[in-house]
A and B are shown apart, each in its own frame.
Chain A
């Protein structure tokens, strides 16, 4: 049970007397919306695109245990540092909120090279899977019409002339 549901229930308890019916109706509508949100399962996932760099000598031998420096676009400050493994491989996951050309510099004992890796903003997105608690515009329209019609009906009920 969420904290927000408790707050809504407290508000319902404060209503009463002659306003009990409209209050109940309103809380019922609000509670329905909240209940839908509370029962929905919200899952978020991130797809990340790791970059694996393999450095080799011209001979094909791996550039093992070499210093690696990663630079994000438009920065001369290292974004990450590390070393290649025994196969000359280094893997990192760029921050795709910084699209552009990422640069990986590999150096060891007077040898070195750089790899320029284009990273676009689309390579990683925070996406959301909703468990049915989102409403389409059509659904929202029907709900609004129902609420308005309920209000009109309630008003007519109270305004009716007594026989």
Chain B
């Protein structure tokens, strides 16, 4: 009797185990795991803001109309420089709303010379700011008129020499139009703007002066060259072997079409690497 009962219990146990073991063999739909969203850490690091005129400014270049241009100084004044963590990522070309999760700004306006240093110089330091860790995927800045220094009274001032066919023309181009740029993600060889706690990350305000003069290395049919002013219209304004012009002079002396081109180029000077920006100051005026 006892053996029979043990046998019965063993059989029931085996049956139960069999059923239990068969269950995991039933295929189950696999639900992908959800990654935790990127959060803003309370820890901080240092954001380094730089300004870059690229090799066009540091090494010179040839304009679309054949003038070899070199720069002694390229002064820009940057103010209200602000780095943002945005979500969704800000897209300047889509002109979408800037939805800010976090932002930090440099305190003081700063006039920098993009042509400082030699042909291989690093982009110019504008300032550093302590910031919460996170991904800074947008940058904005204003370009007011400088209040001191060589560029006093101008938001942008280009000083250099243009050479063509044995003719060499020193030039000074002074822009007192105040500008502002609002940009999204830096577009370049490397990503920028990922700040880890206790670490440094850099962002860059980039200026594309080939938009103004054109680039002989780019086909004449390229939009860049079709929209660029070139240097020849400025060379035509030379007096005593030198070009020294401001916006008022250009308005007065350039053809209506060339002045329109010049004005249309100003909003496109500001970039983040190769990423385009939205001009915010002229557009309001």
Q: Name A's B-contacting residues (CB within 8 A).
A: 19, 22-23, 25-26, 29-30, 33-34, 37, 42, 44, 57-59, 71, 73-74, 76, 96-101, 103, 105, 107, 109-114, 116, 118, 121, 124-128, 130, 133-135, 140, 143-144, 147-148, 151, 154-155, 158-159
Contact = CB atoms under 8 A, between A and B. Distances in A.
Contacts of A100: 35, 37-38
B223 A126 contact: no
Contact of A134 (B1, B26, B34): B26
A109 B4 CA distance: 87
Contacts, number: 121
B26 A29 contact: no
B142 interface: no
A42 B27 contact: yes
Given A33-B18, A121-B34, A125-B31, A114 B4 contact: no
A116 B89 contact: yes
B274 A110 contact: yes
A99 B135 CA distance: 16
B268 to A, nearest CB: 10
A140 B30 CA distance: 22
Contacts of B210: 110
Interface stretch (B6-14, B70-78, B166-174, B238-246): B6-14
Chain B interface bracket (under 10, 10 to 19, 20 to 34, 35 or more): 35 or more
Interface string B242-285: 00000000000000000000000000000001111000000000
B15 A105 contact: no
Given A113-B274, A116-B88, A98 B35 contact: yes
Contacts of B185: 103, 114, 116
B18 A29 contact: yes
Contact of A126 (B14, B30, B191): B30
Contacts of B184: 114
Contact of A112 (B26, B32, B87, B187): B187
A151 B11 contact: yes
Nearest to B26: A134
